[in-house]
């Protein structure tokens, strides 16, 4: 299997607010991409422990050999050098022209202008590096700047975004806008009418303007049912959604104290600013991490964010896990939920985590009663009744020294039931935080990246004698059940204890495909 090509990276920051916020942002040479953190929240003996995350900028420099090139400024460097290396990181400094510290006549920020300037930077980088495309890495509003470029600016110019953009990774981007938990929509209407500090860019009318190409835009505004999260595939020059990754924060409590009002307004199912349901593009890759929108405990300044970013950009295999063949007990008063967590051997963090305590469990529906997709896109069953659990990327070059020939992953699966009576939760026989099924699938994948067919073994923790750390995979690797090329599929039986809950035919379906 070939090693993914290293492409230039362009970082696009988030919303800065008013002129004072913009002035503060432009004082940072790297627009915040160089900020790190030093604490983890839970340590031994209930004491905070020291853990140093250097920053995504420095980590890409150290881990992947990327260079940060300036000569007084990025612009001076680009103007004075005929060639630049593809393994380079660039900051889209779109806020500079709106800062009063540079000029007495700052320009008003406009989303379309920021996207047009991003295209100019991309074209310059491509020309001087010889790279066919660049990867875009964006925080918060920066993801909307990138989508404006991809969905409006480039199509209006008759250019295919896939010809200049390789992949798009977004941290906590409000793909669905920003909404509030109270006010019955009045707060949103007030924001969009007055445009406080330019925040109307997170409302549907303005989003429709900068996410829709002129050729298909309705002059009357967004049609009924228009979803700003969508990246439509039925348009010329549609960008493939499989090239997009959305990192979703689930911790509102750690959003900066100064933003406490914001965190209270958007509600608990959020990262403190962006609600969970607004933080993804339907059909794109997703990972949920218990981090806040920004700050020292934010998604950008986190090991969780970096590890997902690194594997998405440079991984060589994509792995999907889904629950299939399940049949839930026929009880009209019972709702079923699944909780999942993905851990990687050698990392101090959880790569992906969806739990009830973090307001984002997976809602399970019986495939016999709900044979077609329904509900939120990320939890809907497909026509075959599959419930997606995890979608992640493997990088054979990142195998931990202790892996002894394999890369080890652990998928923690819990299934819980909630009883209802007269439309209210019934706690009469309830045991809080107690799952009806709870087990961990331990997966070992061969670390040889030379082939797309993995040597994979999998066993449930309940069948392992002793600690998982001491377990060594034995016997034959699981076989490929799909005869097609470049796709490996295997169905793993659930432990017998799960049969009364999900049925005897329930399986975990693992799918492995090459990733570039």
Collapse the DSSP code of 359 into the 3-class scheme (helix H, G, I; strand E, B; otherwise coil) and give the result: coil
DSSP state of 5: P
pTM over 0.95: no
Mind listing the domains of the chain with CATH numbers? 9-314 (3.40.50.1820), 320-514 (no CATH)
* pLDDT in the model for residue 449: 52
* pLDDT in the model for residue 451: 54
| Distances in whole angstroms, Cα of residue 17 to Cα of each of 14, 22, 145, 204, 254 | 9, 7, 15, 19, 20
pLDDT, the chain, mean: 87
pLDDT below 50 — which residues of the chain?
1, 183-184, 186-188, 190-192, 194, 369-383
The structure tokens 């997703």 sit at 286
Burial (0-12, 13-18, 19+ Cβ within 10 Å), 380 = middle
Query: In 212-320, which residue ranges form alpha helices assigned H by DSSP?
Result: 260-266, 303-314
Of 19, 17, 12, give the one whose Cα is nearest residue 191. Answer: 17
**End-to-end alpha carbon distance in the chain:** 10
**Strand stretches in 3-127, DSSP E:** 9-12, 37-40, 49-53, 67-68, 88-91
């Amino acid at each position: 299997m070939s090693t993914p090509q290293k492409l230039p990276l362009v970082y696009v920051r988030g919303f800065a607010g008013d002129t004072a916020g913009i002035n503060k942002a432009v004082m940072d040479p790297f627009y915040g991409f160089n900020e790190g953190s030093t604490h983890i929240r839970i340590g031994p003996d209930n004491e905070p422990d020291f853990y140093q995350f250097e920053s995504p900028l420095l980590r890409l420099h150290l881990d992947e050999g990327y260079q940060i090139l300036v000569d007084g400024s990025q612009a001076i460097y680009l103007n004075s050098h005929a060639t630049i290396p593809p393994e380079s990181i660039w900051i889209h400094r779109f806020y500079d022209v709106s800062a009063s510290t540079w000029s007495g006549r700052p320009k008003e920020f406009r989303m379309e202008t920021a996207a047009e300037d991003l295209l100019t930077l991309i074209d310059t980088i491509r020309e001087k590096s010889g790279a066919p495309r660049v990867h875009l890495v964006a925080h918060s509003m920066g993801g909307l700047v990138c989508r404006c470029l991809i969905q409006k600016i480039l199509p209006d110019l008759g250019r295919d975004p896939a010809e200049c953009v390789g992949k798009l990774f977004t941290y906590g981007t409000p793909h669905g806008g920003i909404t509030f938990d109270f006010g019955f929509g009045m707060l949103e209407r007030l924001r969009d009418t007055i445009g406080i500090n330019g925040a109307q860019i997170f409302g549907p009318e303005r989003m429709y303007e900068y996410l829709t190409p002129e050729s298909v835009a309705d002059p009357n505004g967004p049609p009924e049912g228009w979803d700003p999260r969508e990246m439509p595939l039925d348009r010329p020059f549609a960008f493939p959604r499989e090239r997009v990754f959305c990192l979703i924060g689930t911790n509102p409590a750690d959003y900066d104290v100064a933003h406490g009002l914001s965190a209270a307004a958007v509600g608990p199912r959020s990262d403190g600013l962006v609600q969970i349901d607004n933080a993804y593009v339907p059909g794109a890759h997703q990972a949920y991490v218990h981090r806040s929108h920004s700050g020292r405990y934010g998604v950008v300044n986190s090991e969780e964010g970096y590890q997902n970013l690194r594997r998405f950009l440079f991984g060589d295999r994509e792995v999907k896990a889904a629950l299939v063949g399940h049949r839930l007990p026929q009880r009209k008063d019972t709702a079923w939920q699944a909780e999942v967590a993905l851990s990687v051997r050698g990392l101090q963090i959880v790569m992906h985590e969806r739990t009830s305590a973090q307001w984002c469990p997976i809602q399970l529906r019986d495939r016999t009663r709900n044979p077609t997709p329904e509900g939120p896109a990320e939890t809907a069953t497909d026509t075959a009744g599959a419930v997606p659990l995890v979608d992640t990327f493997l990088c054979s070059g990142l195998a931990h020294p202790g892996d002894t020939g394999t890369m080890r992953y652990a998928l923690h699966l819990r299934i819980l039931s909630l009883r209802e009576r007269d439309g209210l939760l019934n706690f009469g026989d309830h045991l809080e935080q107690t799952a009806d099924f709870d087990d961990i699938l331990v997966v070992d994948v061969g670390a040889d990246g030379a082939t797309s067919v993995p040597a994979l073994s999998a066993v449930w923790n309940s069948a392992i004698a002793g600690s998982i750390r001491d377990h060594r995979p034995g016997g034959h690797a699981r076989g490929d059940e799909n005869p097609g090329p470049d796709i490996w599929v295997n169905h793993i039986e659930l432990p017998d204890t799960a049969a009364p809950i999900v049925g005897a035919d329930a399986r975990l379906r693992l799918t492995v495909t090459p990733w570039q």
